[in-house]
């Protein structure tokens, strides 16, 4: 799956809105919206926050991490 889908799945598994998820990660709602729309992707700092969120909520981070690593390799 692609990066935007993996972010959406993590948020939905936590039963959160984009706004609540953004608040939890200390980012703007529009940031989460752009991630899920595939317009942008999380930077390393945001990925660390998502990892912490996943660990705290017992949600697998592996698929998102793999998608993010693939995306960052593409960009180079």
CB 64 within 8 A of CB 50: yes
Q: Does the global pTM surpass 0.85?
A: yes
CB 36 within 8 A of CB 4: yes
How confident is the model at residue 75, as a pLDDT?
67
Q: What is the tens place of the pLDDT at every residue in 2-31?
A: 999 999 999 999 999 999 999 999 999 999
How confident is the model at residue 74, as a pLDDT?
75
Other Cβ atoms closer than 10 A to 37 = 10
CB 64 within 8 A of CB 5: no
Read off the tokens for 47.
């990925």
Q: Residue 55 and residue 33: Cα distance in Å, rounded? A: 22
Q: How far apart are the first and last CA of the chain?
A: 20
């Amino acid at each position: 799956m692609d990066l935007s889908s993996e972010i959406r799945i993590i948020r939905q598994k936590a039963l959160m809105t984009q706004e609540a998820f953004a608040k939890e990660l200390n980012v703007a709602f529009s940031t989460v919206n752009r991630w899920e729309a595939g317009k942008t992707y999380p930077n390393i700092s945001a990925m660390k926050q998502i990892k912490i969120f996943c660990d705290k909520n017992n949600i697998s981070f592996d698929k998102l991490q793999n998608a993010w690593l693939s995306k960052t390799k593409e960009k180079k």
